[in-house]
């Protein structure tokens, strides 16, 4: 069975996932994560895939939030003092995706960041894009899909208004 690679992420109206310095303080304007289906989503994923920058940002937030899930960090450098269950992986995302599939992972959360999402999209391995679209324009910052991201088409599965003017949007990648 093919592994499903699913991105569940918050994004600003101008397509930013973080401020230029990596700060995500603007996420506080979002309603509770349950409004965006996060608890049900998280219960269904059996692994998490993230880039090095996202890993470092999550580490700066305090206690490791994913002790019960295997986490794979795409990086070419070691991860000193990494929490249990965190494994660095180097190489092309096609190779990494195939390795996770071979290990039996069936639903993988592609947490980010933008460069990893660009690579996954280019490799044809980003299957679902689920977003909490927040009503703020950051003006600059880290893009959901940075320059060089190839064209890809998605079909709208659902779009639901949430508190504070946010939207919960789910897209499925078209083959």
pLDDT at position 29 over 90: no
Extract the runs of DSSP E, i.e. beta strands, from the chain: 4-12, 16-18, 47-51, 71-74, 86-89, 107-112, 128-134, 142-143, 154-161, 167-173
User: What is the number of other CB atoms lying within 10 angstroms of the CB of residue 171?
Assistant: 20
Name the pLDDT band for 132 (thresholds 50, 70, 90).
very high
Name the pLDDT band for 69 (thresholds 50, 70, 90).
very high
Name the pLDDT band for 99 (thresholds 50, 70, 90).
very high
- Confidence (pLDDT) at 8: 97
pTM of the model: 0.94
Name the pLDDT band for 34 (thresholds 50, 70, 90).
confident
Name the pLDDT band for 103 (thresholds 50, 70, 90).
very high
pLDDT at position 108 over 90: yes
Spatial distance between the Cα atoms of 95 and 98, rounded to a whole number of angstroms = 5
Report all structural domains of the chain as residue ranges with CATH numbers, in order of start: 4-173 (3.40.430.10)
pLDDT at position 164 over 90: yes
- Confidence (pLDDT) at 22: 87
Residues 49 and 100 sit within 8 Å (Cβ to Cβ): yes
Spatial distance between the Cα atoms of 78 and 138, rounded to a whole number of angstroms = 32
């Amino acid at each position: 069975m093919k592994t499903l690679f699913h991105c569940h992420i918050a994004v600003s109206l101008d397509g930013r996932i973080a401020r230029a310095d990596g700060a995500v303080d603007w996420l506080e304007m979002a309603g509770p994560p349950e409004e965006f289906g996060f608890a049900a989503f998280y219960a269904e994923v059996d692994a998490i895939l993230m880039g090095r920058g996202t890993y470092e940002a999550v580490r700066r937030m305090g206690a490791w939030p994913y002790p019960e899930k295997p986490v794979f960090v795409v990086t070419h450098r070691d991860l000193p003092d990494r929490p249990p269950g965190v494994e660095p992986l180097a190489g092309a995302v096609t190779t990494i995706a195939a390795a996770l599939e071979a290990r039996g992972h069936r639903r993988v959360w592609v947490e980010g960041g933008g460069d990893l999402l660009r690579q996954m999209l280019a490799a044809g391995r980003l299957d679902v894009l689920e977003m909490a679209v927040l009503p703020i324009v950051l003006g600059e910052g880290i893009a959901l899909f940075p320059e060089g991201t190839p064209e890809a088409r998605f079909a709208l599965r659902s779009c639901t208004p949430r508190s504070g003017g946010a939207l919960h949007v789910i897209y499925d990648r078209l083959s």
